[in-house]
Structure 1
């Protein structure tokens, strides 16, 4: 390729990337990704969409990494960018702490996003990672790290009704792996489930996976350790949830299995899937490389079935799906209950989740594939994926989010709205935004010849997306905006700016 053509293609690529990123006059430091809506049908549940965009090392990140709330039209509502594309958030969602709604997320660096030759197995957290809790005013009120030499893991952080934190954590344990077919000077990538008192920081519970699950049952060969500094990612725990009777439901991707454990004794009560399954699985109920195992009513389990794409798999790769299984404890058989396939079908190598919405709809984050979707409860089939497929959002390029959620949320920023002004001939363009405000319905524009004599020149301009552009026939030179709620009340006031 000649230099002229190469430069032209680079300019085209840069222009395309720029068009896929939001740029705001009133908030110039924020550059979240733009998304595309492929499907938007009636019947979706109310709520905002929560994602944490990042991408893999070899891909081009579109926009900034961080935590992003969007409305259903794809407009940003709140964006908190991170300082580097090599830092990520994950598991970004709404929970309850001390009976108040909060935002929670993991923050750190995911192995495989900072180097072509990562020092840890793909998807592991690098040391220094932590969880955080953010209140409705977008202030960080808690930072939590793992204990006993473990690193806070990207996969799960849940606040219990007791105001404790239940989460996954990982550390490398030296071991001779030759009996498993791995290197002599190897390591287990060992996981733990930890529970911490959020008020005192006391470690209340720790379940050591290696002490209870046989690595020999892994679907990942121990010889794979040579590709990740001799570390064998034999388990890959990716979800934990409290269940009835003081139990924990735990998903392990690389075991193809879900475990129900007795929290008091640590013993495994039953295993679903994998090499030592206590249940027979009907053919259509089989799953592999799964994520996000959750209890459902009526002895059912939901999960995100990646069904793809490790080379060591003895099972052919299949399209990913949200999956609900019916468990027959009398006969110890797992039956297919519901499936949720993307249209068109997707093959998802990693990550993903399936969320039950309050109206019964199901919300799917497609993990390593750049989509999120909403389905009516009855679901669909691989043969006819368009049925009950209500909503579909696509991220730009290879941007992805480990999980995606839909939640109700009221954001009340403690900082003022932002204003920017562009002067025209005998008029002005006012740009107004308030990052994170969910209650702003309209804007009032004030102007005047002195900063202490401003008066309304636009009484109520409806909010349009993250940033509202308002034309006023007034030369100022002083301008200010007030944010108005749906009742027309002032809920926030920007600084006064002078255009001279």
Structure 2
């Protein structure tokens, strides 16, 4: 699961990866990443990348920053933001890589605007919802769209209220997702207009509207409220949408829903094909949320402001659900994706003596470790294999260090399911647990040739997360993160569907 918990009750807001049983795989905070919104696994140049938004949040519910692309070794291979927008950076809401290696991203711009027609000030301020398509390789914008050029504020449902000032502009449109179809046109979600707009990719004109005051479609599938994450499917004849059903000041429905809507362009009808509702209880989501249609047709849903995520089958029946927090814990989107991680840092290894001698090992971001092998050595000539322990489903693995045959040094080796070496930890002193040699050199016990990772040929050093003190910190976080980040252990509730 790819999710970025945030909120005041979250111990550390950052991007995280969990496996299918809810075990922590990667703690992005350990690699220096902070609160994120747009965060997912995508493809860039036919290779998988983690796309992570970072930047400044605005009190009005938008942001300005940039999107980083991390490869499978967690190295940054791209940095994408807006182009030629006078210092306005990429917004928090959207970042999607197209099949042409371009990126779709949103932006918000405050503009002075006469608001007297909307019970505001003549010298008021309005937020325009914008999006750009960016060439990732060059950073150049290929297309820019501004909501105020095409959508009159009267089309939307949110009045200025106490906003409309320079300090807090009126967010009349609130763009929160952008998709692109096979014809080169764009599907744009406006939360405050309750509408998904289909935009001409050559001139920016609106081709049709789904939902809202001026929907081009008829039928029950055309109704949703304060929605997020509108996406095309089935050769652009279906649209998935997360229907929030509410915002913080207004409730329009009994519950949030994950929707799959069939579009008939001949008679311009929208038909509700699939409706998925929360497993826990029927309630709206005042903000955030997404629907991910997976390859098998299942729906992965992140319930936004509610700290839930889960999977529904193709007819909307819940298959499993998980709660990842209590109180003010939320996540903008949640995805279920294939990710193979091969960190270039060394595994973190620490020894503690509390009556018995225990070794603890973890490797932040490593997804392919099947077995940890404990090694012992007394000199520079050889190591002895002492134990093998399964690492499946465990962020941290521990060993009991045999007291009957103590060694001068201890080390661990990560093995994949085919028994190939993925990497070695530092050597740890058997007497006091301190690092005595960087693991990459494999002295005093193992030749450097045997230390080469099958995942990457990097020459890792003792920097990164390989010191004894960092190992202890990693071990503590690995053992307790699922509790401390939200005050409860990530709880998965599985249901067998017959």
TM-score by length of 2: 0.81
Specify every segment of 5 or more residues in structure 1 that has no aligned partner in the other structure, as ranges. Answer: 1-48, 112-117, 380-387
Match of residue 90, structure 2, among 119, 144, 152: 152
CA contact (8 A) 1:64 1:82 kept: no
Please state if 1:373 is matched with 2:373: no
> Quick one: distance in 2 between partners of 1:84 and 1:409?
20
**For the Cα contact (< 8 Å) 1:88–1:109, is it kept in 2?**
no
> Who is 1:420 aligned against?
350
User: 2:196 is matched with which residue?
Assistant: 258
* Structure 1, 405-414 or 465-474: larger mean CA deviation: 465-474
Give per-residue Cα distances to partners, 1:205-248, cap 9 Å, x unaligned. 11111111111111100234158834100000011111131110
Question: 2:329 aligns to what?
Answer: 399
Q: Does structure 1 conserve the Cα–Cα contact (< 8 Å) formed by 2:371 and 2:388? A: no
Counterpart position of 1:134: 70
Structure 1 residue 438 and structure 2 residue 375: aligned?
no
Picking from 294, 316, 322, the partner of 1:357 is 294
Residue aligning to 2:252: 316
Structure 1 residues 387-429: Cα deviation after superposition (integer angstroms, max 9, x where no partner): x21111111222111000000011111111110111255x521
Q: Which residues in structure 2 correspond to 1:63-462 (within 5 Å)?
A: 63-81=11-29, 87-111=34-58, 118=59, 121=60, 123-125=61-63, 127=64, 129-147=65-83, 148-149=85-86, 150-225=88-163, 229-282=167-220, 285-297=222-234, 299-311=237-249, 313=250, 316-343=252-279, 344-379=281-316, 388-397=317-326, 398-425=328-355, 427-450=356-379, 453-462=382-391
The answer as to 2:414 corresponding to 1:483 is yes
Output the CA distance in 1 between the equivalents of 2:377 and 2:278: 54
Change (3 A) 1:153 1:334: same
Q: Is it true that 1:492 corresponds to 2:423 in the alignment?
A: yes
Deviation at 1:151, TM superposition (A): 2.5
RMSD (Å) for aligned C-alpha atoms: 2.1
**2:1 equivalent to 1:52:** no
Give the 3 Å change call, closer, same or farther, for CA 418–310 of structure 1 in structure 2. Answer: closer
* Cα separation, 2, equivalents of 1:143 and 1:78: 21
- What is the CA distance between 1:90 and its match in structure 2? 1.6
Cα distance, 1:84 vs. partner?
9.7
Relative to structure 1, is the Cα distance of residues 107 and 82 closer, same or farther in structure 2, using a 3 angstrom cutoff? farther
CA contact (8 A) 2:15 2:28 kept: yes
8 Å CA contact 2:16, 2:24 repeated in 1: yes
Deviation digits for residues 170-222 of structure 1 (CA, Å, limit 9, x no counterpart): 11111121122222332111121111111112221111111111111111002
Contact kept? 1:66, 1:82, Cα under 8 Å: no
Q: Kindly tell me: are residues 285 and 214 of structure 1, through their superposed partners in 2, closer, same or farther at Cα, counting changes over 3 Å?
A: closer
SS in 1 for 2:275: strand
Distance 1:259 1:176, change over 3 A: same
Q: In 1, Cα distance between the equivalents of 2:334 and 2:193?
A: 24
Residue 262 of structure 1 and its aligned partner are, at CA, apart by 0.8
User: SS at 1:325's partner residue?
Assistant: strand
Give the superposition deviation at 1:357: 1.1
Ranked by relative contact order (alpha carbons within 8 Å, sequence separation 6 or more), the top structure is 1
**Deviation for aligned residue 1:374:** 0.3
Measure the CA separation in 1 of the matches of 2:378 and 2:56: 50
Aligned length: 424
Contact 2:124/2:165, CA 8 A, preserved across alignment: no
Partner of 1:152, secondary structure, is coil
Distance 1:219 1:451 in 2: 73
Q: CA 1:296–1:342 in 2, change beyond 3 Å: closer, same or farther?
A: same
Question: Hey, what's the Cα distance between the residues in 2 that align with 1:96 and 1:360?
Answer: 20
Deviations 1:90-119 (A, max 9, x none): 2211111111111102112333xxxxxx3x
Instruction: Extract unaligned runs of 5+ from structure 2.
Output: 433-498
Deviations 1:95-150 (A, max 9, x none): 11111111102112333xxxxxx3xx2x211x4x1111111110112212223123
Secondary structure of the structure 1 residue equivalent to 2:93: strand
> C-alpha separation between the residues in 2 aligned to 1:134 and 1:84?
13
Please list the CA deviations of residues 354-379 of structure 1 after superposition, one character each: whole Å capped at 9, or x if unmatched: 00112221100001111001011111
Change (3 A) 1:496 1:259: same
Which residue matches 2:473? none
